[in-house]
């Protein structure tokens, strides 16, 4: 049965289980993991499959997908025994601000806090697992869309400060972060929301690194590894 070319599907698991046409980019998992950069920022243009790439990584590493190795059977990454053992072994936090389109600081901040609150609720099993200290549990319980400035990240009064502090806490001073990947955003200058993140490995649209994984090469339009 011929596979269908599904336009706009950004869910890796759905692509595989419903047998839609998919150009195998799973080698990106190995390339990214073995480079061992603390935080990677990839900024390809729009419509280059950034969300699908992130979703693929989440599907592979997330402990929620433990036992779902069948999603990757027949793909390049599954040929590697080391990575077959790595699949489904990490708690993965995937956060997108694609829906943050409000036009005032107050509304943007509240929307971001709502997204963070929803994420905390998704991972409430960690709160109830017994691995958190009483202080961490108390912080967990304070998270809400209306949380005060000092409970959100720091005492923040401007959107740039809010985002800068959020990124700093998540990607620079986070002792629990094994590896981080950001995409879908442009690094305008060093004096921006990234000014505190001197640990970023920046991959632009002109970089050769990850080029095979991020971009669709000419040969892939006529042949290649498809599923």
pLDDT tens for 93-136 read 888 887 888 878 778 888 888 888 888 888 888 788 888 888 88
- Sequence-ordered list of residues with C-beta below 8 angstroms from that of 4, at least 6 positions apart, any chain: 19, 20, 21
Q: Which of 59, 105, 107 is nearest to 86 (CA)?
A: 59
| C-alpha distance from residue 144 to each of 118, 130, 148, 154, 156 (Å) | 9, 21, 9, 15, 16
| C-alpha distance from residue 109 to each of 2, 17, 56, 122 (Å) | 46, 37, 28, 20
Tens place of pLDDT for every residue, the chain, 227 residues?
Answer: 567 877 778 889 999 999 998 888 899 899 999 988 888 888 776 666 778 888 999 999 998 899 899 999 999 999 999 999 999 999 888 888 878 888 787 788 888 888 888 888 888 887 888 888 888 888 788 877 666 655 544 433 456 677 777 777 888 878 888 888 887 756 544 445 566 677 778 777 667 777 666 655 544 444 444 44
Q: Which of 188, 164, 214 is nearest to 45 (CA)?
A: 214
């Amino acid at each position: 049965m011929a596979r269908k070319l599904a336009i706009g599907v950004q869910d890796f698991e759905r692509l595989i289980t419903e047998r839609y046409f998919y150009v195998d980019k799973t080698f990106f998992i190995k390339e990214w993991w073995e480079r061992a950069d603390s935080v990677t920022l990839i900024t390809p243009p729009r419509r280059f499959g950034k969300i699908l790439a992130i979703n693929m990584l989440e599907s592979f590493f997330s402990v929620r997908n433990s036992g779902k190795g069948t999603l990757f059977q027949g793909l390049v990454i599954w040929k590697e025994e080391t990575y077959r053992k790595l699949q489904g072994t990490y708690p993965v936090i995937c956060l997108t601000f694609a829906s943050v389109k409000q036009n005032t600081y107050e509304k943007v901040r509240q929307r971001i806090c709502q997204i963070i609150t929803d994420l905390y609720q998704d991972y409430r099993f960690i709160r109830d697992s017994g691995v958190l200290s009483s202080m961490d549990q108390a912080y967990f319980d304070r998270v809400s869309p209306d949380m005060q400035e000092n409970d959100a990240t720091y005492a923040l009064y401007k959107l740039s400060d809010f985002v800068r502090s959020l990124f700093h806490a998540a990607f620079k001073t986070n002792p629990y972060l094994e590896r981080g990947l950001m995409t879908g955003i442009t690094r305008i200058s060093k004096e921006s929301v990234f000014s505190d993140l001197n640990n970023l490995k920046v991959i632009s649209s002109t970089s050769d690194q990850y080029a095979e994984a991020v971009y669709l090469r000419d040969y892939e339009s006529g042949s290649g590894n498809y599923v």
